[in-house]
Structure 1
Amino acid sequence: FAQFASDLDPATQKLLARGARLTQLLKQPQYSPLTMEEQVLSIYAGTHGYLDEIEVADVSDYEQRLLDDARVNAKPILDSIREQQKLDDKIEAEMNKYLEKFTKGYVSAHKKAA
């Protein structure tokens, strides 16, 4: 299928690329389960385009750094997700703001390191 990727329209290529990133995102190390709120944050990042600029090979690193950072700098967001058990507009706005800032920093740092 990959050999035909160049024949696909850009929207389909983008969708397949996002799917590859989501597949990586869903892989968890054995005996290291994520909390529900961490899973929500990770999957939200993947399904809302925050991983689109991240290389597939770097998705696991991005997720680990994201969660490490979120446990310290976005604890209120994680707490809200856990307590409310749903995403309301306020939580989504906070997540978007946090993810935009984190992802921008990650991409910037990753480009400097390359």
Structure 2
Amino acid sequence: MTDETHQFCKIFLCSPEPSAIMQALSELLGGVFLRRSMFLADATVDVLRNSDAGTSEDFVGWPTIVEIEATREATNVSIRNIAAEVLTAMWSCDVPAIASCSFEDELPWHGGMDRL
């Protein structure tokens, strides 16, 4: 079971195409999206349009968000690994991605901040 520090992670993507992101994440995580949500054993993964898109030149204004929420069965390691997989997959597809969560310092490139 996760502790309070690994319950949730939001990843901002500089990509205007949520459908392409969902397809990539389905292949990566081995799940299927129902509308905008994929239900895995350890997490629910949502791909959403950012309601604050365009309001800032910073990453918080990027158009797409991936939200990862831990299930009861999740561990800190499993949630960290899912977030790391999403980040590195996006970077390998040349999609800028930045994580905002309490454990971003445990993620590659400190959640992407060191890549900016």
Per the normalisation by structure 1, the TM-score is: 0.36
TM-score w.r.t. the length of structure 2 is 0.36
Say which structure, 1 or 2, has more relative contact order (CA 8 Å, 6+ apart).
Answer: 2
Higher helix share: 1
Structure of higher CA gyration radius:
1
Structure with more strand by fraction: 2
